[in-house]
Amino acid sequence: MALRFFQSSQNTKPPASPTGLADLIAPSAVEISADHVKIGDRLARTIFAFTYPRYLGTNWFSPVINLDRIFDISVSISPVDTGTILKRLRKKVAEVESTISMRQEKGLVRDPLLETAYQDLEDLRDKLQQARERLFAVGLYITIYGPDEKTLDDAEAQIRGLLETRLVYARPATFQQELGFSTTLPLNNDTLRVATNLNSSPLSTIFPFVSSELTSDRGIMYGINRHNNSLILFDRFSLENANSVVFAKSGGGKSYLAKLEILRSMMLGTDVIVLDPENEYHYLAEAVGGSFVKISLASRNHINPFDLPLPAEGESPEEVFRAHVVELVGLIRIMLGGLTPEEDAIMDRAIAQTYASRDITPGSNSSKAAPPTLSDLQTILENTAGAQQLATRLSKYTSGSYAGFLNQPTNIAITSQLVVFNVRDMEEELRPIAMYVVLHHIWNVIRRELKKRILIVDEAWWLMKTADGASFLFSIAKRARKYYLGLTTITQDVADFMKSTYGEPIVTNSSLQILLKQSPATIETVARTFSLTDEEKFLLLEANVGEGIFFAGLKRAAIKIVASYSEDQIITSDPEQLIAIEQAKKELSATA
């Protein structure tokens, strides 16, 4: 679909074309019929708008522009002399006023249409005289293309139907198809000349550029608006919450977007923490001097899930302690593959007793106390009636093959502006556990100090595989704003994400939503979740890498992610580019 706007005077003539160029671009044959033009093996039909309603709302023309059809749109705008039109309006006002007076003298019932027309004419006269409005002769033409007449008929019916729902009426240029086709060519020439006088305000509503409000004077650049090539500059922290979700199929550009947002947010002083299951952010962390923390069974980095969070200002230490115990029970539930109600109650008491063994109680000051470990919990379970089986199941995390992962004091500090926690080398069975533990540790750190931060959870579907992991992620999404945090949830497995009880609540608690290229298998789920139109579904299916739809509250725009050359070299995940970068590094080292 091509859209062309041009402003011309009534005497505009088509520019002369060189004979050679005309011969070069001309079709092999043109056949002109009453209701279409045949150009080679394609048919074209031109329709024009001839009636408009009293009011035209902003964005009324966008449904037509976004149709999944092949067509050209031409809008001819010719200024009308204000002095001439004021004389005509004066005469028209006198006629309407005279008609109203005559009806009143005859005792007829008043005519609301006449009174409305009189008010509109007077209002327009005032605006024209005060130079608040100008008048234009506007022609709106649409040329539809198709392989056969049925396709043209269907497209015409669809377009006219969309227009008529907005009280804009159109008809085909019967016996004038050649002129109509010429009008929609990029020749700056209205040969059909079916114009309607419109003043500035309703004329402005024809323009489809309605996404300019996504350009603000603060925030970062996310990309380019594909509809009008304006920049999408936005501050996620200006919304009711700073959370975002990014959905895309594998290779759709979701991690590329996340890394670009990290770079640009860091330039504005925002701290970023990343939970990285696939080693996507290692090079970025190195490039900006951030911290890269590798979590695996053989890693020297350890996180003790029993570390107690410090109460924030206004929080009760007892409430914080009890919430922490609930989260630990959730972790144990994931580690052991589920607990019965009886085991859940036993575990809750055992964790409280484990803390008590280190003189840590709900009301005590535990800021300087050494937290217990899983081995301490196992000891308590072994000495609790009916808990021996739980102790046995826990032993693989304390003395078995998984012992090095969770049964150690924490030796990690989050001090850099960018910190990446990588769990790629963690066994698949342990990855949801590792992500839960790391997220729990990050959350404790976030609560200690109020600071502008972004937390990115990539491949969040790993956490969503378990009810406790999904519940914990949702609790962060709900509470993030309180701690000046923006949670970014990224996933490629949309179906599994939305199957979770907490999938839709996480989406609805994210004011910023970005959909990139989708697969046919998941598009219906995405469309249902985000209330997409058929045109938006098609856009996501046919999108290139880094293209999609950007939602900010109630506003939306088609977006193309754009990075500079330097940014691209840092954030790219393209294997070919990565190999070239590594080769360049080796050559540079050899030269040095």
Q: What homologous superfamily does CATH list for 241-299+415-565? A: P-loop containing nucleotide triphosphate hydrolases (3.40.50.300)
H-run or E-run covering 171: strand 169-172
Q: Which amino acid appears at position 262 of this protein?
A: I
Packing angle, helices 82-105 and 112-129, rounded to 10? 150
Specify the pLDDT at position 271: 95
* Phi, psi at 196, each rounded to 5°: -125, 135
46: phi then psi, degrees, rounded to nearest 5: -105, 135
Q: What is the CATH number of domain 317-398?
A: 1.10.8.730
Average pLDDT of adjacent 10-residue blocks, the chain of 592 residues = 49 53 75 90 92 80 80 89 78 80 80 76 74 84 93 92 91 92 88 86 72 68 82 88 91 90 93 91 90 87 85 78 88 88 90 88 74 89 88 86 80 89 86 89 87 92 87 91 93 82 90 91 87 83 90 84 89 77 76 71
Assigned token pair, 357: 């063994």
Q: What is the pLDDT of residues 388-442, one digit of tens each?
A: 888 888 888 888 777 777 888 888 888 899 999 998 888 888 888 888 889 989 9
At residue 322, the 3 state secondary structure works out as helix
CA angle (518 as vertex; 517, 521 as ends), nearest 5: 165
Alpha-carbon torsion angle 545, 551, 555, 558, nearest 10: 10
- pLDDT tens digits, 464-520: 888 888 899 999 999 999 899 999 999 987 877 888 889 889 999 999 999 999 988
Q: How far apart are CA 53 and CA 548, in angstroms?
A: 34
Amino acid at 241: N
b/e map 433-451, b = 16+ CB within 10 Å: bbbbbbbbbbbbbbbeeee
Which residues neighbour 192 within 8 Å (Cβ) at sequence distance 6 or greater?
46, 48, 139, 141, 173, 176, 179, 180, 182, 183
Identify which of 261, 115, 247 has the alpha carbon closest to the alpha carbon of residue 519.
247
Residue 307: closest CA among 264, 355, 378, 235: 355
Any idea what the Cα angle at residue 17 is, between residues 14 and 21, rounded to 5°? 140
β-pairing, 135-146 vs 169-172, is unpaired
Tokens read off for 304: 């003790």
Q: Which amino acid is at 382?
A: E
Burial, 93: exposed, middle or buried (Cβ in 10 Å; 0-12, 13-18, 19+)?
middle
Domain residue spans in the chain? 2-78+135-204, 81-133, 241-299+415-565, 317-398
Tell me whether domains 241-299+415-565 and 317-398 share a fold.
no
